[in-house]
Chain A
Amino acid sequence: MSPPDTSRADSARPLNGAGEALLTVRGLKKYFPIRGGILNRAVKRVHAVDDVDLEVMRGETLGVVGESGCGKSTTARLLMELIEPDEGELIFDGCKVGSRELPLKEYRRQVQMVFQDSYSSLNPRLTIEDSIAFGAQVHGTPKREALARTHDLLARVGLDPARFAGRYPHELSGGQRQRVNIARALALRPRVIILDEAVSALDKSVEAQVLNLLTDLKAEFGLTYVFISHDLNVVRFVSDRVLVMYLGKVVELGEAERVYTHPQHPYTAALLSSMPSMDPDHRTEEPPLAGDPPNPIDPPTGCRFHTRCPSIRPFCATREPPLADVERDHAVACHARVPASGYHDDAAAVPDPEKITA
C-alpha cells in the first residue's frame, strides 16, 4: 500500500487564501554530481533539492528555514535560474519561465536576488554607482538615465549619493554594502526579491536597520520577498508564511505564526525548540536535534527525517510522506499527521503536537 500522491495537487492550489500565486515552482530537482574515479565520471550525486513544490504569493514574504546544507541556497539559485534544474518548472505570473511569453532575460528583470556576502557580491573594480547601474544598462537604459536612477535608489536605501556613488566596495561598511546590494536588486524594478541570508552577516543593530529598510521598500514598491535565513527569530519577524526544508525536501509550509506556535512536523518542533529564547520561563526540556543531518549524498529512504525523529513507526523508513494539508494553509510531510497513513493503527506513542511545541 503506497500513500496517495497528494503533494502535487495540494501545493498547486494556493495555500494562502488571501493572495494568488506570483511564482509557482513544480517538481524542482537538483542533484549535484560528485565526480571521481579514473574517468572523472559522476560517481555520486548530492540530492540538494529534491522534488520541491512551492508557491510564492503576490505581496507576501515567504520565509525559508532549515539547517545548513538543506538546500536553501540551491533553491534560491534555481529560482533565479542561475543553475539549471535537473527537473521542474517555474511559472511566473501565469507564464512558464523560458517560454516565448516570458524569456529568461525578461524574467530576470522581474526577479532579483540579494546575496549573503555583501563584499563578494560587488565587483571590487567598479564604483558603487557603476555596479548598480549595470543591470539597467544591460536592459537598454542609457547610461545617463541609469545613473540618475541609481542616485535616487542610493538615497532611497539611506546612502547619500554625493558621498557614496563614486566609492568602491571596500570603502564601505558591511551594512552600507548590503544597502548597495539591495539598491542594485531594486534597480531593475523587480516584483520579487530573493534574499539569501541577506542580513545574516550583519551585526544585530545593523541587521535591524536593514530589516526595517526591507519592510519599507516592500510597501513602497509592492514587492514580494523570499526570505532565506537560518535565524528563526528574524524569519518569524518578517514572514507571512514559512517554509521548512530538510535535506532538499519541504517538510512543512504554513502561515508563520501558526507554524511557530503549532509546528506539525517533528523536525520543525525540534528546530524551534533549539531556538534560543529570551524568556527563561519558555526554555524547554525538549531534546534538541540529535547529531548532524544525514549526508545528502545518500539521503535516508522513506521519510528523510526518520533517522533523527523522536517518534517513528517502522514504515517511516520505507514510505515517503507526501506534503499534505493538516489544516487550512498549513501543509506538512509527516505520516503522523495523516490519519489515513496507518501511523495511528499500531498502538501508543503518538506524539502530541502541542507537547512538541512545548
Chain B
Amino acid sequence: MVDATQTATAPLDPVAAPVRSEGYWRSVWRRLRRDKVAMTAGGVLLFILSLAVFAPWIAPQDPLHGTMLMRLRPIGTEGHILGTDELGRDMLSRLIWGGRLSLLMGVTPVIFAFFIGSAIGITAGYAGGIVNTLIMRTVDVFYAFPSVLLAVALSGALGAGLGNALLSLTVVFIPPIARVAESVTTRLRSSDFIEAARASGASALTIVRVHVLGNVLGPIFVYATSLIAVSMILASGLSFLGLGVRPPNPEWGLMLNTLRTAIYVQPWVAALPGMMIFAVSISFNLLSDGLRSAMEVRA
C-alpha cells in the first residue's frame, strides 16, 4: 500500500512529477555534519548517553555497595580503575549509573519547558496586543528571579525528591523559553507571508500551524538545547543541597557533594563527577552552537 501522505502530495500529472528540492532540515543536517566541533560534541554525548542507557551491562560493579576497607582508593587501583568513593564503592560504576539520573535531570525539565514555554510564547507573540502584555508580564515576574534561587526556593517549598526537583527545574526554564518564543514569533508575525496567509482567510490556528511553527520552533529548540547544560548544573546543585536525588543513588551532583570532604585525600577521584558534568554541559553547548549556525545559513 502506498503511504497516505505520498499520494496526497503526488501531482496529478504523472509525466511532470515536480523535482523536490532538498528540504530545510536535510540541508541543516548536511551543514551540521560538516561541523567537526559539533559532531565531536554530539559523539561525546552519544557515548555518555549509551553508557547510561546500558549501565546494567557495562558497569563492572554494583554502584550501591562497597567495602569500607577499600574506601577512597586512587585512580588506577586494581579492580577499581577510577578508584573508590568514601564508602568504598567503585567510582567507574557509579559514574556510569550516575549518568542516568544526571542526564534525566538535565534533559527532562528542558523538554517539558520547551513545550510549555513555546506554547506560551507563541500564543503571546502571535496574539500581540493586550494578550501579549498580560502573558509576558506574568512570565517576567518569574524571570526576574535568578534561576538558582528560584530552583532552590521551589524545590525547598515542594520538598526534597526527584519528582519535585524536576518540576521546579521545569518551572525555572519556562520563562526564558517563553521569552525567546515570544520574541521570534513577534518578529515573524509582521512578515509579509503571514499577512498573505491572513489575506487568504486562514484562521489564526491554521496560520500558526502551517506558517509559524516551522519557522519558530527551530530557533527555540536551539536555545532550549543550550539550557540543558544549565539544567544539569542546577540539578546537580539541588542534589548537592540535598533537594534532588537522595543517597545512596548515584548522581553526579550528589557524588560531587559527598566527595568534597575527600578533596585533600583523593583530589582526582573527587573531581571525576565534576568533570562529567563539565563534559556533558560543554558538549550540549557546542552542539547547540553548531546547530544554530547550521540553521542560520540560507542556502
Which residues of A pack against B, CB within 8 Å?
77, 80, 82, 104-106, 108-109, 112-113, 115, 117, 120-127, 129, 131, 134-135, 138-139, 143-144, 147-148, 151, 160-168, 170-171, 181, 184, 188
Contacts and interface: CB of A to CB of B under 8 A. Distances in A.
Nearest to B5: A143
24 contacts: A108-B199, A115-B192, A121-B193, A123-B193, A123-B211, A124-B215, A125-B24, A125-B215, A129-B18, A134-B202, A134-B210, A135-B197, A135-B202, A139-B200, A147-B12, A151-B13, A160-B16, A161-B16, A162-B16, A162-B19, A166-B18, A166-B19, A166-B21, A188-B200
B18 A162 contact: yes
Interface string B195-224: 111111111001000110011000000000
B11 interface: yes
Given A123-B193, A135-B201, A166-B18, A147 B24 contact: no
A127 B200 CA distance: 17
Nearest to B214: A125
Contacts of A120: 191-193
Contact of A104 (B24, B201, B206): B201
A169 B201 CA distance: 22
A121 B192 contact: yes
Given A108-B199, A113-B196, A120-B192, A148 B18 contact: no
Interface of B: 8-9, 11-13, 16-21, 24, 191-193, 195-203, 206, 210-211, 214-215, 298-299
Contact of B199 (A80, A143, A162): A80
B222 to A, nearest CB: 15
Contact of B196 (A105, A148, A184): A184
A151 B13 CA distance: 9
B21 to A, nearest CB: 5
B206 A165 contact: no
B19 A163 contact: yes
Given A120-B191, A147-B12, A139 B19 contact: no
A138 B11 contact: no
Given A127-B21, A135-B200, A166-B20, A161 B192 contact: no
Contacts of A82: 195, 198-199
B11 A147 contact: yes
Given A123-B214, A134-B202, A165-B11, 13 more contacts: A80-B195, A108-B199, A112-B199, A113-B196, A115-B196, A123-B211, A126-B214, A135-B197, A147-B12, A151-B13, A166-B20, A167-B21, A171-B299
Nearest to B25: A125
A138 B298 contact: no
Contacts of A139: 200-201
Contacts of B20: 127, 166
B199 to A, nearest CB: 5
Contact of A109 (B9, B195, B201): B201
B246 to A, nearest CB: 46
A144 to B, nearest CB: 7
Contacts of A108: 199-201
A170 B206 contact: no
Contact of A171 (B21, B200, B211): B21
A115 B201 CA distance: 16
Contacts of A161: 11, 13, 16, 18
Contacts of B199: 80, 82, 108, 112-113
Contacts of B195: 77, 80, 82, 113, 115, 121
B195 to A, nearest CB: 5
B200 A170 contact: no
Contacts of A143: 8-9
Nearest to B196: A121
Nearest to B210: A134
Contacts of A123: 193, 197, 210-211, 214-215
Closest 8 CB pairs of A and B: A135-B200, A165-B18, A121-B192, A162-B16, A166-B20, A166-B18, A125-B214, A108-B201
A170 B18 contact: no
Contact of A122 (B16, B193, B210): B193
B11 A134 contact: no
A134 B198 CA distance: 11
Given A120-B193, A121-B192, A168 B24 contact: yes
A117 B192 contact: yes
Contacts of A160: 16
Contacts of A112: 199-200
Contacts of B16: 151, 160-162
B297 to A, nearest CB: 11
A346 to B, nearest CB: 49
B200 A148 contact: no
Given A115-B192, A122-B193, A124-B215, A138 B21 contact: no
Contacts of B196: 113, 115, 121, 181, 184
Nearest to B202: A138
Contacts of A125: 24, 214-215
A77 to B, nearest CB: 8
Given A113-B196, A134-B210, A170 B298 contact: yes
A126 B8 CA distance: 16
A82 B211 CA distance: 17
Contacts of B191: 120-121
A314 to B, nearest CB: 43
Contact of B17 (A126, A162, A170): A162
Of the listed residues A124, A166, A184, A188, the one surrounded by the most CB atoms of chain B closer than 10 A to its CB is A166
A122 B298 CA distance: 14
Nearest to A111: B199
Nearest to A121: B192
A160 B15 CA distance: 13
Given A115-B192, A120-B192, A166-B18, A148 B201 contact: no
